Structure 1
């Protein structure tokens, strides 16, 4: 048995299909299938059970999985040791993040990390859902709530704030807003109720608004709707500096606090490379939230 066989085994276990594993490995599905069959013959055990839903690990595959993951960590550690240049990070790292963080925070933070580590390739995957680190969809993920299950390590990154906001053009032609009750006369912008993937994103319990008139599963799309003068919504304070003309509304009555959490696979805690990157990412996010929220506070409020 060699590492290349285990690498293919891990890819199929995570993708649960030959074609999905092949895309990640840049191999055709037939080649992946032959390599798995060869590994099964070498071990004298079936590693997968094929069904209409895909390839699921057999009992023998379940037993092999932790050993393959440890081998993966060992090879990654050797690569880190040999490829580092004067303490710099290198190679490819993928971060999963909710789209608000991915759109308004990570571009600046990752740019600074890249400047300090020219050999590092950072990939940001922005999806409005929770990432599956066990399937290695990402090396680490940022979430808006702390997970309570799975073989994970979790670190709080930073608190952040959200406020009601609207564009000045919308406010100039709409009924005035002095209390939360006045929001009932306005078009509200928010999440699609049945597509809210985390309870921390259910913001409208904090207001007296009754109906969301425009909705999206994306925080950045909601901000674009607000910037277009379509209505009022709850937005990240750190996003307001990117939206000229958007101002906070009822800031003394509606201001939410949430947190970002960094999630890593438990086996990755031994990786110095991932730990160093996580430290740089965390510090960068904390600094950027403080800077942008300060700018948002200085940009002014809607008149009562």
Structure 2
């Protein structure tokens, strides 16, 4: 029996999220309503698509087969709409961007606000989470990453390099022994990531410096920066974050200077979507410019008098 696209769209969400609640949040539908729709779909197909348990919804063999066909239909729908001419150069609709919270807190607000100002019909959602986003499950339309993924059907574009240095509050430095070499860090309180919550090897800065104990830790970059600003200790901070963090300065810049990169990651199926491509280009241009602007502002801050 032929199924309409709406049935397949809901089915794909449940199959990818493996739960009614997860799919319901994604689709903004009540889980009970979604459950009834899945039961109706199974009845119309006269087959069982899911094995239901307290752990969630797992696909049966028939469900896996339908998922493959539904994903082909999804790709065909995207391909059919990608080339539809628009009546205006402006972007419209909703676009969701996933990003680690450093980029989400210090860069994306300015960049996305500027894009939205030029496109009044556009709704931009920023999902700030300290983890890798799963674009296959459509957690976001695109994501910013700190390393280039090597698995999955993804399109990866390097956007820009960014820099990090050790930093501390003037108040902390005034009350503690001088830091003139990396070895001096052993006698200071360190601020950094919670070790078992580092979601990308590129973020394990302190381990590379031989720091064992992290006295003040958070999985959030912005929380770490606030800890540093409050005189909590010494930590590695993004240069772009320090432009908006008065009372904090970089230290040991000649000895410790880290460089990382931001990557824009999109699902391969979306490469022909003109709307998402236009937004991705605007986002990449904005991120490069804003990172450069803030890093220049940080580098230009006056050094304290000896």
Q: TM-score, normalised by structure 1?
A: 0.93
Aligned position for 1:93: 95
Displacement after TM superposition at 1:41 (Å): 3.1
Q: 294-303 or 130-139, which moves further after superposition?
A: 294-303
Aligned position for 1:288: 290
Write out per-residue CA displacement over residues 245-284 of structure 1, whole angstroms, 9 at most, x where no aligned residue.
Answer: 1110000110100011111112111211111111111111
Residues 72-91 of structure 1: pairs in structure 2 closer than 5 A: 72-75=74-77, 84-91=86-93
The SS at the match of 2:162 is: strand
Write out per-residue CA displacement over residues 133-179 of structure 1, whole angstroms, 9 at most, x where no aligned residue.
Answer: 11111111111111121222211111111000011111112111111
Displacement after TM superposition at 1:18 (Å): 2.0
1:248 touches 1:300 (CA, 8 Å); kept in 2?
no
Unaligned runs of 5+ in 2: none
Among 236, 248, 251, the alignment partner of 2:250 is: 248
The SS at the match of 1:270 is: coil
> CA separation in 1, counterparts of 2:304 and 2:15?
53
Aligned positions, number: 304
Distance 1:278 1:67, change over 3 A: farther
> CA separation in 2, counterparts of 1:286 and 1:231?
30
> CA separation in 1, counterparts of 2:116 and 2:86?
14
> CA separation in 2, counterparts of 1:15 and 1:22?
9
Aligned position for 1:299: 301
Aligned position for 2:234: 232
Aligned position for 1:220: 222
2:92 touches 2:122 (CA, 8 Å); kept in 1?
yes
Q: TM-score, normalised by structure 2?
A: 0.92
Aligned position for 1:47: 49
Distance 1:122 1:73, change over 3 A: farther
> CA separation in 2, counterparts of 1:61 and 1:246?
55
Displacement after TM superposition at 1:37 (Å): 2.4
Does 2:39 align with 1:58? no
Write out per-residue CA displacement over residues 178-197 of structure 1, whole angstroms, 9 at most, x where no aligned residue.
Answer: 11111122111011111111
The SS at the match of 1:55 is: strand
The SS at the match of 1:220 is: helix
Displacement after TM superposition at 1:303 (Å): 6.5
Aligned position for 2:120: 118
The SS at the match of 1:164 is: strand
Does 2:33 align with 1:17? no
1:238 touches 1:292 (CA, 8 Å); kept in 2?
yes
Q: 127-136 or 25-34, which moves further after superposition?
A: 25-34
Residues 264-279 of structure 1: pairs in structure 2 closer than 5 A: 264-279=266-281
> CA separation in 2, counterparts of 1:84 and 1:222?
44
> CA separation in 2, counterparts of 1:60 and 1:173?
67
> CA separation in 2, counterparts of 1:91 and 1:77?
18
Write out per-residue CA displacement over residues 177-235 of structure 1, whole angstroms, 9 at most, x where no aligned residue.
Answer: 11111112211101111111111110013435442111111111000001111111000
Does 2:157 align with 1:155? yes
2:166 touches 2:253 (CA, 8 Å); kept in 1?
yes
